[in-house]
């Protein structure tokens, strides 16, 4: 999911699709899990993605980037 949130050429389109699916009753309970794993930049989800992704020469604070992207996704869930 992080790959999509980071590299999508038009994230607004993807987030609009997420909103459509949410209105149809999908993603029930997903926001709770995302909140749990991404509640702060040192949470389990950010650390797992940072470890899997490895260092990134284009992003100074990878954990912060992960945290912000998943919290933006939460706004649409």
Q: Tell me, what's the pLDDT at 4?
A: 93
Task: Round to whole Å and give the CA distance between 57 and 34.
Answer: 26
| pLDDT tens profile 17-75 | 999 999 999 988 898 999 999 999 999 999 999 999 888 889 999 999 999 999 999 99
Q: Tell me, what's the pLDDT at 55?
A: 86
DSSP 13: H
Residue 9 C-beta-side C-alpha neighbours within 13 Å: 0
Task: Round to whole Å and give the CA distance between 15 and 76.
Answer: 7
């Amino acid at each position: 999911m992080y790959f999509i949130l980071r590299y999508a050429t038009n994230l607004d389109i993807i987030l609009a699709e997420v909103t459509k699916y949410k209105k149809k009753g999908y993603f029930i309970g997903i926001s709770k899990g995302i909140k749990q794993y991404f509640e702060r930049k040192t949470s389990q989800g950010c650390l797992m993605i940072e470890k899997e992704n490895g260092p990134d020469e284009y992003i100074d604070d990878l954990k912060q980037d992960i945290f912000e992207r998943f919290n933006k996704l939460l706004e649409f869930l």
